[in-house]
Amino acid sequence: MQEAALERPPDELGTTLDAELVHHARPLGLGGAHGDMERLGDVAVRVPVCEQNGRRLLALGQRVLRHDTTLPAGAAPDIGRSTDPHAAMYGGIYSRRAMRRPVLVVNAGSTSLKLTAVAIGEESSPVESLEAAPRVAAVGHRIVHGGERLQEPTLIDRDVVDELEHLVDLAPLHNAPAVAAIAAARRALPDLPHVAVFDTAFHHSLPAVARTYLLPSRFRERGIRRFGFHGLSVQWAAERVPVPRLVVCHLGGGSSITAVLDGRSIDTTMGFTPLEGVPGATRPGPVDPGSLLYLLREGVSAAELDRALEHESGLTGLAGTGDVAALERDPSPHAALALDVYAYRVSQAVAAMAAALGGLDAIVFTGGVGEHSAIVRAAVCRRLGFLGVVVDESANETATGEAAVSSGGSTVRVEVVPAREDVVIARAVRKLLDTD
């Protein structure tokens, strides 16, 4: 039988592997100088095992949630030297043959749950349910908010799930369904690696001037700063429209506007939570914090205020529904005002991001509303004419898939790019598990 040493992953991955993986492996009853022999997948690998705090751990020297990069006591110093380059991927746990299969992507958003199987060639196909999933290599989960500690793509274990549960209050519309989806997916597919990929990661490049709130240090020291969201969608849009100065309008159930300079996020409208920024289906967008303090002093409970801001505001609060297509068909003045306020706030944000960029080369519309509402795109761009933005009415109204909708006289490209968060997630999963 072929034997391969476990290959130590890069320190910056920020992942944790514990006894769960050993538990799922079938012991072969073999031993060696550096640990037990376990059979994982298609190859036998030498798994260095040690005891720490009463738990049986894989001694991989990986970073745990508290940023501890030290090897556990008893770990062999030569861990990480592969003896067979064809034997295994990511420390010998997943075989190259397995990684040729699709990656199942679980995207639990604020208004939808999407399951897709993304092939190695990045073709994707919808999956009806976890039980109907095809044979896949791994499962990737979109996680909106990872806080300070969870940033890079991370193998999901008990510690990661615990951390995500603690972060639910920061993004309740997203993290709560994501945690539930992780539990369901791990029950349905217990023998596969599950990887968390974070929406906040693309915004790690935010400069201090953009991420810092002007609050007392005692609050900032508690981690209050701008994180930014929709990073997976923005990353895809920036790849599809690679210009130096780009503004990405992700408009959907939640909406955000991001300034991308030479492929890096330098400012974005969402902040410490997804509540900040432009309005969405149920979130209000810009609100004077003093008005919220007033409501609290007047007897509105924190729970009621939380519910109103997350679930009852935005387009829903003004017109009774967050469905933009329904509002476009509705002749009532409330519907017209809701759409007008929405486009007004989005155009304001685009102009602000153009200022952050020092100019504007292109605007991308993405997300459910950005991709499908010609009315919203036109309304936003009309307000941006002073920046040289001009939309071709015919191209805008007939746009499907990736499409250019700016006119020949526009000095700024206007593009529609369907969101492909599933592809970005699948890439991240393969990169984490594949040492090629």
- If we measure between CA atoms, which residue out of 36, 70, 64, 30 comes closest to residue 50? 36
Q: Are 396 and 374 in contact (CB under 8 A)?
A: yes
- If we measure between CA atoms, which residue out of 207, 223, 221 comes closest to residue 149? 223
CB atoms within 10 A of CB 63: 21
- What is the rounded distance in angstroms from the CA atom of residue 46 to the CA atom of residue 36? 6
Cα distances (angstroms) measured from residue 363 to each of 28, 246, 250, 415 = 57, 6, 11, 6
- What is the rounded distance in angstroms from the CA atom of residue 144 to the CA atom of residue 150? 11
Sequence-separated (6 or more) residues with CB below 8 Å from residue 340: 379
- What is the rounded distance in angstroms from the CA atom of residue 68 to the CA atom of residue 61? 9
- Catalytic residue set: 199
The vertex-35 CA angle with 29 and 39, nearest 5°, equals 45
Q: Mapping DSSP to helix (H, G, I), strand (E, B) and coil, where does residue 102 land?
A: coil
- If we measure between CA atoms, which residue out of 193, 4, 189, 23 comes closest to residue 94? 193
Task: Round the CA-based radius of gyration of the chain to a whole number and report it.
Answer: 24
For the chain, give percent helix, strand, coil, nearest 5.
35, 20, 40
Q: Mapping DSSP to helix (H, G, I), strand (E, B) and coil, where does residue 202 land?
A: helix
Sequence-separated (6 or more) residues with CB below 8 Å from residue 361: 243, 244, 245, 246, 412, 413
- If we measure between CA atoms, which residue out of 252, 415, 258 comes closest to residue 342? 252
- If we measure between CA atoms, which residue out of 136, 132, 126, 133 comes closest to residue 100? 136
Q: Are 257 and 343 in contact (CB under 8 A)?
A: no
Greatest Cα pair distance in the chain: 77
